[in-house]
Amino acid sequence: MEIGLYLRNIDTINEIPEDIMHKADSITCGDHGCTYVLPTVDELLALKHSLLNQNKGLHYISPKLSQSHLDDELNRVVTLLREGLSISINDWGLLYKLKDYIKPEYDICIGRLLSKSIADWAWGALLLGGEKDRGKQYLMQNSFNHKLKIDYFKNLGIKGIDVSAHPDSEASYIGISNKGLYVTGFADSTYLAVSRACPVIHIENLGRCSDRCREFCTREEYHLIPVKADQQRMYPKMQLIGNTVYKPIDVKPRQDAYRRILYTWNSLNADKIKNIFN
């Protein structure tokens, strides 16, 4: 199983200590929900060439898109695929347009926003609390654990699928792998929702999307806390990062359920990541 680092901000590559960077198998950059914070093609290609000297791959996460950004992102993705990057797609419209450009050698994955399951819900485990174990396991499986669905995407040229590393779903991840799509798991967060209107714009009084977006959306975290005390005890801590709401998770992934596990790089959790690599 590979262990990689996910950078919400490509600029933070220089913050990673040498001993951690040396042990990481790959680097992933990009964003699930917003085009304004994405690294440029030139930034990604420069990082790719730098990583080649370290025998590491570079993976790009393409976000959910509005119609006005669809063609620009299509051009970006096609360019990056031709340059040898692997890519996760989180928008059905982009995948539909991309199908005419896919070549057998391209490494394209279905992103987390397109592979949702009950396990991704903020309170999924609570809602299934009354189910028997067999029923809970069935309901918590990933939505892509279906032969006909997997065969369709394999024929399209899709190689893998991104998921959140939910322990209750890992049996279905093994099923997906056995049916021919490799699985990448995010081990420290699961996404809950993506908004078309970015709340951070209003919180920080930016007025509109701007060049400062990357600063706030990739370095600042905003905690969403229920008002009532009993709700705070019952419901998980949630984080707003850019226009995406995440729920932190802390799991020990089963090695046979994933080809690659990703941990989000943050200088504040450097010691924890270092221990994982050790």
> What is the full DSSP assignment across 19-58?
HHHHH-SEEEEE-SS-STTPPPHHHHHHHHHHHHTTT-EE
Q: Which residues share a beta bridge with 161?
A: 110, 183
In this prediction the pTM is: 0.91
Report yes or no: 183 and 258 within 8 Å, Cβ to Cβ: yes
- Residue 207 pLDDT level (bands cut at 50, 70, 90): confident
Region 174-182: what's the mean pLDDT?
96
Look up residue 67 and give its two tokens: 């119609």
Look at residue 270 and tell me whether its pLDDT is greater than 80. yes
**For the segment 226-239, what is each residue's pLDDT rounded down to a tens digit?**
888 887 877 777 88
pLDDT at 199: 80
Look at residue 220 and tell me whether its pLDDT is greater than 80. no
Look at residue 213 and tell me whether its pLDDT is greater than 80. no
C-alpha distances in angstroms, 224 versus 44, 69, 126, 232, 246?
32, 29, 19, 10, 10
Neighbours of 4 (CB within 10 A): 19
Highest mean pLDDT among 124-138, 189-203, 262-276: 262-276
Domains of the chain are 2-196+243-277 (3.20.20.70)
Look at residue 126 and tell me whether its pLDDT is greater than 80. no
Region 212-231: what's the mean pLDDT?
77
d(CA 255, CA 139): 22
Rounded mean pLDDT of the chain? 89
**Coil/strand/helix, residue 170:** helix
Look at residue 138 and tell me whether its pLDDT is greater than 70. yes
d(CA 257, CA 116): 17
Q: Which of 23-27, 56-60, 271-275 has the lowest mean pLDDT?
A: 271-275
Top-confidence residue, 80 or 69: 80
d(CA 88, CA 136): 28
Beta strands in the chain (DSSP E): 2-7, 26-30, 57-61, 86-89, 108-110, 160-164, 182-186, 189-194, 222-224, 238-241, 244-248, 260-264
Highest mean pLDDT among 3-12, 30-39, 102-111, 113-122: 102-111
Report yes or no: 180 and 148 within 8 Å, Cβ to Cβ: no
Top-confidence residue, 108 or 243: 108
Report yes or no: 124 and 97 within 8 Å, Cβ to Cβ: no
pLDDT at 211: 66
Region 104-111: what's the mean pLDDT?
97
Top-confidence residue, 116 or 132: 116
C-alpha distances in angstroms, 32 versus 8, 139, 193, 258, 263?
9, 25, 10, 20, 15
pLDDT at 219: 67
d(CA 180, CA 171): 15
Report yes or no: 101 and 76 within 8 Å, Cβ to Cβ: no
d(CA 30, CA 88): 9
d(CA 6, CA 13): 10
- Residue 135 pLDDT level (bands cut at 50, 70, 90): low
Tokens 């919400």, located at residue: 8
**Nearest CA-CA partner of 248 in 228, 268, 227, 230:** 268
